[in-house]
Structure 1
Amino acid sequence: MQRTRTSEKSVKRVILVDDHPIMRHGLAQLIRAEDGLDVIGEAGNAREGLEVVGKLKPDLAVIDLTLPDKNGLELVKDIRAMHAATQCLVLSMHDETMYGERALRAGARGYVMKEEAADQLVTAIHKVLGGGLYVSESLNARMLEQVTGAARSKATGMDSLTDRELEILTMIGKGVATKLIAAQLSISARTVEAHRAHIKEKLSMTDGAALVRYAVQWVESQAKL
């Protein structure tokens, strides 16, 4: 059915950034079935995602965290810095307790677990496009506790890692060598080693072998989610 000129103006334009074509296809069908929403573009990695945002100027970008060329959090930061009119919503298989707050700090306006996409994605999109934030009730409660001072203890363990440190830990767990990490992240090998040292300190580890074992276990645990 052809949209009228008036309805075309009211339709909100969405792009999808996910490296799985089947996932993008399913998400596009889900979003397009909702009145007032349309998927106008797709991308399989962060570089393409930033290009699509720049070219199409969508109202919203739905972004996966695990992308082949760059962490989705970094893409969110790039979009917010370069295309502030485009809102970002993170849709990921990763646990919200680990990445939800990080996504919001990066500039995203919401976080949805992929396993909840069928029930929650459209609701989240409408809330974000309406100017609100979308997170689960449990994460919202946790954030409110922090704001009100009920949880003032210093972050420890995994929670204490910066986004970059968490990204490097994940790459270590996937067996990526230091020089390749440096090349992929466009930083020096010395900087990677500095991050490794900070990660070991924050996780109370004394040697590199322990860090590698921990990183591998971390990646494996995330893959099971």
Structure 2
Amino acid sequence: MKKFIIVDDHPLYRKGVSLLIEQRLGLECVGESSTVAEATDMIAKTLPYLAIIDISLQNGSGLDLVSSARTSWPALKILVLSMHDENLYGERAVRSGAKGYVMKHETPERLIDAITDVLAGRLAISDNLRNRLVENISSGLRSSIDPRIALTNRELEIFSLIGKGYGASDIATRLNLSVKTINAHQDRMKNRLGLLTAGELRRLAFDWIAGNI
């Protein structure tokens, strides 16, 4: 029986997803976690065949976990299951090493189909994301103004929250960081994106979110 783990910061959601997978696919859940550190230890101890990972985790980014896990355990198959829109994070998740991306509002059948694809070695992503990946690879796209490329995983998470109208204090609370740290990230984002003011950063974030959701 193939083993899997699920990494998400909502215990009830973790339990529901793990039961669904066990019942529908006959896989064995060997662990649940809500943090990057716990998940890393869990993978090392249980050596699962599949890891289902959310992007927003306690004290860390799921995308960083995807990248580090794929580096340390190349055979591990990873599916990202997230509330975040695929247009915002799908490409980055795949580039980090995920073999699939499913949004949490999708149906149980869609999740089961995606896991089946990943287990079979197929890429479980939408046609839109697949086309964008092909276009970017063929054109060698590396635009410095595209936040998906210019920003780090943590910066992209903060940038997305700015675009959704959250202030520095709210973002700090959501991500368990200090306001000082959030402001430092915003300064680095301005430099990376060639912006001069916090107002320009907010406008770009608002426009980018509006154009991708």
Which string of whole-angstrom CA distances, capped at 9 and with x for unpartnered residues, describes residues 165-221 of structure 1?
3145468756369xx9xx96xxxx7xx84x544421454532246546876x69x98
2:150 alignment counterpart: 161
The answer for unaligned runs of 5 or more in structure 2 is: none
Which has the larger displacement, 22-31 or 115-124?
A: 115-124
Counterpart residue type for residue 158 of structure 1: P
Q: Is the contact made by 2:142 and 2:149 (CA closer than 8 Å) also made in structure 1?
A: no
Residue 210 to residue 155, structure 1, CA distance change in 2 (3 Å) = closer
Which string of whole-angstrom CA distances, capped at 9 and with x for unpartnered residues, describes residues 142-186 of structure 1?
22233344x958363433432343145468756369xx9xx96xx
Task: Choose the corresponding residue for 1:53, options 43, 46, 49.
Answer: 43
2:4 alignment counterpart: 14
Percent identity between matched residues is: 37
Task: Choose the corresponding residue for 1:38, options 25, 28, 31.
Answer: 28
Task: Choose the corresponding residue for 2:94, options 90, 93, 104.
Answer: 104
Q: Give the whole-Å Cα distance in 1 for the aligned partners of 2:76 and 2:53.
A: 12
Q: Is the contact made by 1:12 and 1:37 (CA closer than 8 Å) also made in structure 2?
A: yes
Residue 50 to residue 214, structure 1, CA distance change in 2 (3 Å) = same
Q: Is the contact made by 1:15 and 1:60 (CA closer than 8 Å) also made in structure 2?
A: yes
When normalised by structure 1's length, the TM-score is 0.74
When normalised by structure 2's length, the TM-score is 0.78
Q: Give the whole-Å Cα distance in 2 for the aligned partners of 1:74 and 1:174.
A: 24
From the CA coordinates, give the structure whose radius of gyration is larger.
1
Report the CA distance between 1:132 and its aligned residue.
1.7
CA RMSD of aligned residues (A): 3.4
Which string of whole-angstrom CA distances, capped at 9 and with x for unpartnered residues, describes residues 44-96 of structure 1?
11111111111100001100000011110001111112222222111001010
2:61 alignment counterpart: 71
Q: Is the contact made by 1:64 and 1:90 (CA closer than 8 Å) also made in structure 2?
A: yes
The within-5 A match list for 1:1-225 is 11-149=1-139, 154=143, 156-164=145-153, 165-169=155-159, 175=168, 193=184, 196-208=186-198, 211=201
Runs of 4 or more, structure 1, over 6 Å off, are 212-215
Which string of whole-angstrom CA distances, capped at 9 and with x for unpartnered residues, describes residues 1-34 of structure 1?
xxxxxxxxxx221100001011101101210112
